Amino acid sequence: METLIYKSSIAVHVLCGILSLIAGFMAMLANKGGKVHNRAGVVFYWSMFMIFVTTTIFFILYPTNLKYQFFLGIGIVSFYPNWSGKRMLAMKKSFKPTLVDKIGAWLIGFSGVCMLAYGTFLTLNPSKEFGGLNILFFIFGTVSVSNAYGDLKFYLGYVKAEKMHWFFAHAGKMMGAYTAAVTAFCVNIVPRFLPENTPSFMFLLTWTAPGVILGIVSARIIKKYKIKFKIETKPSLSTKIKQLFSNKQLV
C-alpha cells in the first residue's frame, strides 16, 4: 500500500510540475488580467498546490529521510508565495489582511527558523551523507524568514501599503512560486547530464541560479510596471550620477 501511494504521488508530482512550468510561463506572457492570464494562473495555482500536497505525503511516508525533510521545507517555501500571491487578489479594492493571512505569514517564518536551526545542526554535525544540504537549509530558511518579514510588516501595520500594492505583491509572489517550479526542474534534470566528477558547487548552482536569474527578471518587470503606473521608484546609482552631472553639481 505504501509503495502504491508513493508511486501514485510521484506521478501526480511530476505531472503537476510540468503543468506548473507551462501554465506559469503562459501567465507571464499573457496580458495581465486577460482570460489567458487568469486561466493559466488557476492551473498554475492548483498545480503548485498539488506539488505541496505530494511533497507532504513523501514526508509522512518517510519522516526520518533527510531528503524528504528538506523537500517538505522546500514545498512550504514554494507554496507560500503561491498561496499568498492569490490572496493579494482578494485585497485589490482594499488592503485588509485577515487572520488567516497573518497566520500564514507566521507559519512560513516558523518554517524558516526551523530550516535555519536544522542547517546549523547539520553544520555542527558534518557528514558526507548531508552533502551541501546545510547550505541549502540556510539559503531557503533565510528566504522563508524574509517572506514572513516582508508580509508581516504590512499585515501588522508597521508599514503602509503603497499604491497598487496588491498588484506588485501578486506579481512578485507568483514569480517567486514560478522560480521554485523552475528550480525543481533544474535540480531533477540538470544533474542527469553532468559528468560524475562534477564539483559539488555545480549541484548547488542548480538550486540557487534559477532564483538569482528569475529574481533579477522579476525586479525588472516590477520596475517596468511601476513606471507604467507612474509610481515612484528609487533611482539607480547610474541615474543619480547622471542627475548630478545634468544639474552641474560636479566641478
CA-based nearest residue to 87, from 70, 18, 95, 221: 95
Over residues 1-49, the pLDDT tens digits come to 788 889 899 999 999 999 999 999 999 888 888 899 999 999 999 999 9
DSSP one-letter string for 167-233: HHHHHHHHHHHHHHHHHHHHHHHGGGGS-TT--HHHHHHHHHHHHHHHHHHHHHHHHHHHHHTT---
Residue 123 has pLDDT above 70, yes or no: yes
What pLDDT, on the 0 to 100 scale, is given for residue 47?
Answer: 94
Q: What is the pLDDT of residues 168-182, one digit of tens each?
A: 889 889 988 898 888
CA distance from start to end of the chain: 79
Q: What pLDDT is recorded for position 166?
A: 87
pLDDT confidence tier of residue 251, bands split at 50, 70 and 90: very low
Is-contact 48 36, C-beta < 8 A?
no
User: Comparing 180 with 86, which gets the higher pLDDT?
Assistant: 86
Provide the mean pLDDT of the chain.
84
Sign of the alpha-carbon torsion through 231, 236, 241, 242? negative
The pLDDT score that the predictor gives to residue 38 is 92
Query: How confident is the model at residue 129, as a pLDDT?
Result: 61
Domain boundaries, the chain: 73-246
